[in-house]
């Protein structure tokens, strides 16, 4: 995307390679290395580095929280995949499929402990603040995941409830990553809050765009079959709006198990378009991205320093995969 983005991606990969979890028994450590090296955009540690850099910090001080956020994220993937009964992640077997559920629970637990072990290496003068935002965020992510699970059996999910859920499950961690970069660059509390809010709004825009692409993305671009959310009857904004605007038809269609999958996806997508749910979602995503850009404008550093973060927001905003 740009040189600094690449630089921080590489730095993350280097740190993760050095880290290499090892110990006994091997079968609790192997899944940790396995999931970490399935790939991934490493967006979370990159955000910590980018924010640290934006506020003129010493990048070395951001390493511990940056890497910790990636380890935490991967812990949550292992456990979420169990809850979602997901067979694959990035085209490879999930941890509980390759090993078993018990080992996936324990490896995940150990990975959460390791996230804390790593973040504990943050320089003492930043440690209190770092732990405070990290602990808060970690709790929120668990809450968000539980909400997401509850929605599966909850008949009516409101727009507000859905937005609350993705905020907790996805967005706050991006805000936390940026804030940890700012803290380790000695940014003021006020600037830390701005960059946190920037991250949360960017995360909302990102997740809503993700939901849009799950139905309307080009499967070649997205790299996986689209329509997954539709077939799982996931109560996303598209579902909620279509149900609100075309109640009877939409609900009988989405709950009809006799229609073949490809046809069902196409017919549901038509309802999304007919009801304007697709546009509503795109506009909502856009609204959050613009809010995040507004926070970026308010941050009190030279425009030049904001370039990488601005590029990241623009990239996420205009992506089609």
Applying CB under 8 A, which residues contact its own copies?
23-25, 27-28, 79, 82-83, 102-103, 105-106, 108-110, 112-114, 116-117, 120, 124, 127-128, 131-132, 135-136, 138-139, 142-143, 145-147, 149-150
Phi, psi of 99 (to 5 degrees): -105, -115
Comparison of 28 and 259: residue with beta carbon closer to its own copies? 28
Burial of 189 (0-12, 13-18, 19+ CB in 10 A): exposed
- To its own copies, the closest distance from the beta carbon of 138 in angstroms equals 4
Comparison of 68 and 226: residue with beta carbon closer to its own copies? 68
- To its own copies, the closest distance from the beta carbon of 19 in angstroms equals 14
User: Sign of the CA dihedral 94, 257, 214, 290?
Assistant: negative
Largest CA distance in the chain: 61
- To its own copies, the closest distance from the beta carbon of 235 in angstroms equals 15
Comparison of 59 and 133: residue with beta carbon closer to its own copies? 133
For the record, the structure tokens of 208 come out as: 């809503």
Residue 31 CA to residue 101 CA, distance in Å, equals: 12
Comparison of 71 and 296: residue with beta carbon closer to its own copies? 71
Phi, psi of 120 (to 5 degrees): -65, -15
Comparison of 143 and 246: residue with beta carbon closer to its own copies? 143
Looking at residue 276, what DSSP letter applies?
T
What pairs with residue 88 in β-bridges? 93
- The answer to whether the CB of 247 falls within 8 A of the CB of 204 is no
Comparison of 15 and 143: residue with beta carbon closer to its own copies? 143
Among 36, 13, 27, smallest CA distance to 114 is for: 36
- To its own copies, the closest distance from the beta carbon of 178 in angstroms equals 20
- To its own copies, the closest distance from the beta carbon of 159 in angstroms equals 17
DSSP string, 102-133: HHHHHHHHHHHHHHHHHHTTS-HHHHHHHHHH
Comparison of 106 and 253: residue with beta carbon closer to its own copies? 106
- To its own copies, the closest distance from the beta carbon of 4 in angstroms equals 31
- To its own copies, the closest distance from the beta carbon of 45 in angstroms equals 20
């Amino acid at each position: 995307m740009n040189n600094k983005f690449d630089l921080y991606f590489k730095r993350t990969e280097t740190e993760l390679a050095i880290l290499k979890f090892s110990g006994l028994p091997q079968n609790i450590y192997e899944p940790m290395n396995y999931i970490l090296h399935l790939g991934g955009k490493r967006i979370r540690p990159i955000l910590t580095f980018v924010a640290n850099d934006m506020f003129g910090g010493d990048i070395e001080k951001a390493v511990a929280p940056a890497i910790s956020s990636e380890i935490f994220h991967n812990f949550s993937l292992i456990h979420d995949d169990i809850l979602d009964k997901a067979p694959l992640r990035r085209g490879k077997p999930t941890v509980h499929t390759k090993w078993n559920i018990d080992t996936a629970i324990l490896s995940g637990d150990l990975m959460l402990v390791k996230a804390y072990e790593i973040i504990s290496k943050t320089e003492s003068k930043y440690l209190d603040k770092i732990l405070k935002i990290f602990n808060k965020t970690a709790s929120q992510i668990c809450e968000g995941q539980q909400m997401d699970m509850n929605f599966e059996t909850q008949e009516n999910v409101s727009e507000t409830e859905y937005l609350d859920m993705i905020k907790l499950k996805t967005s706050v961690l991006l805000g936390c990553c940026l804030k940890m970069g700012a803290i380790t660059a000695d940014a003021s509390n006020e600037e830390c809050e701005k960059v946190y809010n920037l991250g949360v709004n960017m995360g909302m825009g990102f997740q809503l765009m993700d939901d849009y692409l799950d139905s309307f993305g080009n499967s070649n671009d997205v790299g996986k079959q689209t329509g997954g959310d539709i077939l799982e009857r996931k109560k996303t904004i598209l579902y909620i709006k279509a149900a609100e605007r075309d109640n009877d038809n939409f609900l009988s269609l989405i709950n009809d198990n006799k229609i073949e999958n490809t046809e069902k996806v196409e017919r549901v997508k038509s309802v999304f378009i007919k009801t304007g749910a697709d546009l509503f979602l795109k506009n909502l995503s856009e609204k959050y991205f613009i809010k995040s850009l507004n926070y970026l404008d308010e941050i009190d550093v030279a425009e030049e320093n904001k370039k990488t973060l601005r590029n990241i927001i623009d990239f996420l905003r205009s992506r089609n995969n």
